[in-house]
Amino acid sequence: MNAVTEGTFAALRGQLQEAAAALADGPDALEGILLGIVDDVDRAVREPLEIFPVCHHSPASALAMARRLREKQPKVVYLELCEDMAPILTELRNCRLPVAVQAFATEVDGFPAEWAPLSVVAPITEASAEYQALAYALDTPGVELVLVDRSCDHVFQWQEKPADPAEPAGPDAPAAQEEAALHGDAVGVEIGDLRPRFAELEEHLLRHGRVRHWSEWWHQYVELPLGDADHDTYRQVMLLIGSLFRRLAPGDPHRVRVDEDRERYMWTRMRAHLAETGTDPADALYVCGAFHAASRVEEFGVHGAGTFEITPPSATKWQYGLIPSSHAAIEAQFGLAAGSVSIAASEWAKNLRRTRVTPYRLAGQAGTRTSKKAAKAVPAAVPAPPLDASDKLTGFLRRPPVLDRLDEAELLGWSVEIVRAARRNGYLASTADAIAVFETSILLAGLRERAKPTPYDFQDAAVTCIEKDSVPGRRDVRRLVEIMLGGDRVGQVGYDALPPLARDVHDRLAPLNLKLQQRGVQRALLDMASRPELEQCSDVLWMLRYLLPHGAARPIMGERRLGERPIQESWDLALGTHQRALIELGYEGVSIEQVLEQRLRRTAYGPQATTATVLQAVEDATLYLRSRRLADELGRRALEVLATERSVDGAPEVLRRVRGLLAYYRTSEPALPAWIESFVTTGYAHYCTLLPTAFADDDASVRQVAAMLGFLFSMEGLALSLGCDRNQLELAVAQSHPEDPAKTALLWAARTQLGRLARADLRARCAELLGNPLVVPAYPRYLSGFLHALEPVPGLADFVVEAVSHAFAQLPDPVLLPWLPTLITTLRGSGADLAPLLIREAGRVFPGRLADLDAWTPPWRAEPASADPRPARDRASAPRGPALLAAHPATCDAVADLLGCTGTWQSAEPAPPGAALLARHPDTAEALEALLATP
């Protein structure tokens, strides 16, 4: 090998040795690095299995790939992509690029639970070498495509923790955040990540290249020179770059170890496939990133010496599919400059027009037009000429940069178009600005030692000349240039490539007559009164609203409540925009009902489940699924969770949901479910047990204690009918001794409800509090407790109005004014239940007109009037008996005739002065009087 190496790259090695001797003033470390790069290139070039190095989303790589595939026409294509993604690749023809191949796992087995859900995506664009290889292999008869990279399961096996999605730098952040988030939190895998892992090296290249970011440097110094290069030159240059970045910056040790394991994995898979199928390495092509092509592991090559043991996959069940992608999503995930993928797509189209190379496209690919020549069958393979191992690097590295002639027509068209786009977006741009952009682009290119302005030069010139002070619209000039040069193209997964769940959703929503795969918001109007079949669409939309992110299905008019049936609804649908979320639902089940049931069970049986959350799951199962079976199962689960809870944090929510479920079952079912009866009895005993502790616990709020009392008092009738003992509640109230004023007022209200405290005594206690100067500052807290007491004891509404009126009348301003915000927040927090009671009672008590207010006397200050205003003498002499019937007997006679009764009228005798039975047997009345008088 050394002799061959000396012969092939002898001139280049000699030049590098001389350069190393001239530049290095220490040991021969620089010479070792430079000569080692040459060795890496020569080793890869002489490998019997042809290695094709690429860079992700590189137009030059895609063009060189298309050329080489038509020349060589290999029988086997080894591709650096997760091997378990192979079955889904045939569905790419049903999609509009860019899309991403996704592996998804909702439940993990063998990984930490906090990593779930696991997601891996591999984005694919038309201007990429991997798409050219896929299209060639899938549409050419007799060609086998073999994915050789680690599986998605191994991606996480070899990972210390889930990687955070890369974020672009500040000024280059994408404007369309929605498109940038199409991949979610998925881990991205790609072919050919070529970027220096040595920060100082990247900074040096950017500074001396007079560029802003790495994407611009790559476009200027790699893409453009390699656009017209022959195959050997392209391979050797890409191998040189991969070896250079590999040797200069080893980077993170864990990342280096994973990279080397990936290379061992791929060569192990390829050698195994060659041995099993007997394929000649000369008939195969290995497509991988240039970084991995310059590998130095022992397993490298067909005749590699090392052996690598591949660990078995975990028990995690993976689902595979295609999700929509976009240029902005690719840039955001892999840390590329904003607009770089769009510029690459524009450069790809320009290269195709200039070189007249026919690219490979999948038959039936949406969004592409295949020419008639390309649609014909691929001709029989012609033996490719043997690889020329001659040195192409020396000539390429010594060649001066090609000075492209300025394409004035293209630059002028760009300048006119950006001015037109700027005017449409609110900028005060004119023809003078177009001229300024044209001249500034040429000036910037000259300052950066470029003969021809690049799209990045034009972008800087447009920002400088058009964007003066502020951005008048949604898009700035930089974003307008990106759109003009190619835009943020967003892919779409076709109907045939969707999982069964997504196809079922589209089929069930077909009566809406909407283009659901179209991006953007569409309005759906559902009139179930005239079209009853739309009720099924309504059910699907409500389930989608529960399962999908906000905005995918948003109700504008209409709501779903227990016991109510929809009549008319209006929806804003954006299923095309949220296609990824809908596809990921398909990984969890075959229907949205199944996924929703799984979600509800996961919520109810999760480690963080509370009684309130489980009751919410019961309500959701009844609302969306109308499943009595699931509701009963989750109800029994709520009973189990309630029995184990030792806090009252969720008492208000529990009370609200139990009341709603009880009202629903009482109106729609012949009998209450067994679980809710058990829940009432268990909850009655449970809250009675916790009540004394909650009154004394500072962590338990007044609202929570009021909710407990609300449960006990509102469910008391049902609980007693089911066998509960009221003495338990009375003992719990008697054992409660709060110190907080608000809880004390709440306890007084509870005792009043139980009959242990009379209204007069309660009124006297409040008067005593107002009369004590030491207690007056704390009196508003007592009133707050009375306000919360309206939840368990709504009959105290008149008393609360009276107490608040006394407070406004007697409290001094330094006490009253600071309390008003507390009053407002209390009513706002529980306004749905408490405020209507107070407003209704205040409307009954206070005068309805302002003129009556001066003469109005509060009812609690008015003297009590006798039940009968007539004098005692008049009451004694008043006639007894039905006087009206005696005066007008015709009505009774008509009713008697109608009923068939016969009889005569008798004169009314004076009634006895009292009840005759009580006068004859007074013992019973006296005993009852003694019982009631007992305190």
- From the list 144, 93, 133, the residue with the least C-alpha distance to 289 is 133
The confidence score (pLDDT) of residue 622 equals: 92
d(CA 795, CA 792): 9
Strands 568-573 and 522-527: antiparallel
- Quote the Cα angle for 586-324-554, to 5°: 65
Report helix, strand or coil for 244: helix
Enter the DSSP assignment of 17: H
Taking only the tens place, the pLDDT of each residue in 483-494 is 777 666 788 888
Of the candidates 353, 358, 356, the one whose C-alpha atom is nearest the C-alpha of residue 373 is 358
Task: Name every residue whose Cβ is closer than 8 Å to that of residue 82 and which is 6 or more positions away in sequence.
Answer: 103, 120, 122, 147, 149, 150, 151, 152, 155, 189
Q: What's the pLDDT score for residue 171?
A: 38
How far apart are the C-alpha atoms of 170 and 817, rounded to whole Å? Answer: 49
> Angle, to 10 degrees, between the axis of helix 702-714 and the axis of helix 674-696?
140
- The pLDDT of residue 634 is 93
**Burial (CB count <10 Å: 0-12, 13-18, 19+), residue 53:** buried
Across the chain, which has 935 residues, the per-10-residue mean pLDDT values are 47 53 50 68 84 86 89 90 88 87 86 84 87 90 90 84 47 46 65 61 70 75 77 84 74 77 88 89 88 82 80 87 84 77 82 85 69 44 50 62 64 86 85 88 82 81 82 79 74 86 91 88 89 90 91 89 87 89 87 91 90 92 90 92 88 90 89 91 91 90 90 90 89 90 90 88 86 82 85 85 80 79 70 69 76 73 53 48 71 80 69 64 78 67
What is the predicted pLDDT for the residue at 188? 64
| Angle between the N-to-C axes of helices 779-789 and 797-810, in degrees from 0 to 180, rounded to the nearest 10 | 160
Q: Got the DSSP string for 254-316?
A: HHHHHHHHHHHHHHHHHHHHHHHH---GGGEEEEEEHHHHT---TT-STT-----PPPPP-SP
Instruction: Write down the pLDDT at residue 175.
Output: 40
For residue 381, the model assigns a pLDDT of 43
Cis peptide bond upstream of 98, omega within 30? yes
**Amino acid at site 933:** A
pTM: 0.72
* Tokens 């305190």, residue located: 935
- Compute the distance between CA of residue 876 and CA of residue 484 in angstroms, rounded to an integer: 102
pLDDT given for residue 617 in this prediction: 93
Q: Assess contact for 445 and 461: CB atoms under 8 A.
A: no
Q: What is the pLDDT of residue 864?
A: 55
* CA–CA dist 272, 576 (Å, integer): 43
DSSP state of 832: T
For residues 35 and 20, what is the distance between their CA atoms, to the nearest angstrom?
10
Q: CA-CA distance, 603 to 725, in Å (whole number)?
A: 34
Rounded (10°) CA dihedral 75, 80, 86, 88 = -120
Distance in angstroms (rounded) separating the CA atoms of residues 762 and 745: 9
Tally of residues, the chain: 935
Gap between the terminal Cα atoms of the chain: 111
**Residues 575, 845: Cα–Cα separation, whole Å:** 54
Q: Is-contact 699 712, C-beta < 8 A?
A: no
Distances (CA, A) of 6 to 13, 390, 515: 8, 12, 65
Measure the CA–CA gap between 893 and 570, rounded to whole angstroms: 61
Three-state secondary structure call for residue 513: coil
d(CA 467, CA 476): 8
**547-579 tens-digit pLDDT:** 998 888 999 988 888 888 888 999 999 998 888
How many CA atoms lie within 13 Å of 63's alpha carbon, on the beta-carbon side? 25
